[in-house]
Amino acid sequence: MSHTLHREGTIESLKGDYVVLSMAAQGFNTEGSGPKFQRYFELARQFGPVNIGENKNTGSLAAFDYDTIVRKTTDGCVCLVVFDNPESLIGFLEALKKEDLGMSVVVSGLMDQVKECCDKVGLKVHTVNLSLGVFGRREKLAGDKEREITTMCGHGMITGDMVLYHVNRIRRGFETAEQASNEVCKLCICGAFNPTRGAELFRAMAEAKQ
């Protein structure tokens, strides 16, 4: 899975960004997977995720409460959980290992950090995908700082102009960095956006010299 692979930013910022995706092998174990995904979310809840989501029936935590997302999760969903610290990730991976739901699990984050977390749980990394960056007409892209926020939505639902709009509102005192992050998070319906990191990035952009 690659839509959470292309997040941009500093190493320090990305140390607080971990996405755990689970899905069925389509056509093989899709039937009956809904209750397993509900259990997946229930396990995650114990470790304080900053976002969860499934893009088949609802969306992310910014738009729906936790119980609603769990209740509406059905067979064939693609389910994501986001943590802002490695300790929570380790706890969740330990719980998933013990539960053994039989669903595919993919963890996105800094490779060294993710491997270290897996090692602590006794999990062997099966496959590694690496982002090679962006090729082509890069001048068509949003600015470097804006992309640190836009790339947290792997389906491109958050634009660079939208980021700048909210930065301007923060500077003018119309909203806080947390409110801005929550608003753009609603557009990332799969739940991959990290609102904790988003607020930090919005705050830094708003406080930077114009």
* pLDDT tens track for 136-176: 999 999 999 999 999 999 999 999 999 999 999 999 999 99
Q: CA-to-CA distance for 66 and 71, rounded, in angstroms?
A: 9
Other residues' Cβ atoms within 10 Å of the Cβ of residue 103: 19
By residue range, what is the domain housing residue 195? 138-207
117 and 189 housed in the same domain? no
115 and 142 housed in the same domain? no
What is the tens place of the pLDDT at every residue in 57-80? 999 999 999 999 999 999 999 999
Short-list 123, 118, 121, CA closest to 94: 121
Give the Å distances, CA to CA, from 63 to 53, 122, 128, 146, 208: 10, 35, 32, 22, 29
Question: Does 3 map to a domain?
Answer: no
β-sheet bridge partners, residue 22:
79, 105
In sequence order, the 6+-apart residues with CB closer than 8 A to the CB of 210 are none
Q: CA-to-CA distance for 137 and 109, rounded, in angstroms?
A: 26
Surface-to-core class of residue 79, CB atoms within 10 Å of its CB (0-12 exposed, 13-18 middle, 19+ buried): buried
113 and 24 housed in the same domain? yes
Query: What is the arithmetic mean of pLDDT over 77-101?
Result: 97
Short-list 91, 120, 89, 122, CA closest to 106: 89
109 and 39 housed in the same domain? yes
Other residues' Cβ atoms within 10 Å of the Cβ of residue 27: 8
Short-list 180, 208, 210, CA closest to 195: 180
28 and 114 housed in the same domain? yes
Domain boundary among the residues 60, 90, 121 is at 121
Domain boundary among the residues 66, 90, 121 is at 121
Question: Does 68 map to a domain?
Answer: yes
Where is 41: in which H helix or E strand? helix 34-45
Out of 33-42, 53-62, 110-119, 178-187, which region has the weakest mean confidence (pLDDT)? 53-62
Question: Does 147 map to a domain?
Answer: yes
What crossing angle do the helices spanning 195-207 and 160-171 adopt, rounded to 10°? Answer: 60
| Domains: count for the chain | 2
What pLDDT, on a 0 to 100 scale, did the predictor assign at position 2?
73
Are the C-beta atoms of residues 28 and 97 closer than 8 Å to each other?
no
104 and 190 housed in the same domain? no
Question: Does 4 map to a domain?
Answer: no
β-sheet bridge partners, residue 52:
81
Question: Does 126 map to a domain?
Answer: no
Here the CATH number for the domain that contains residue 102 is: 3.30.70
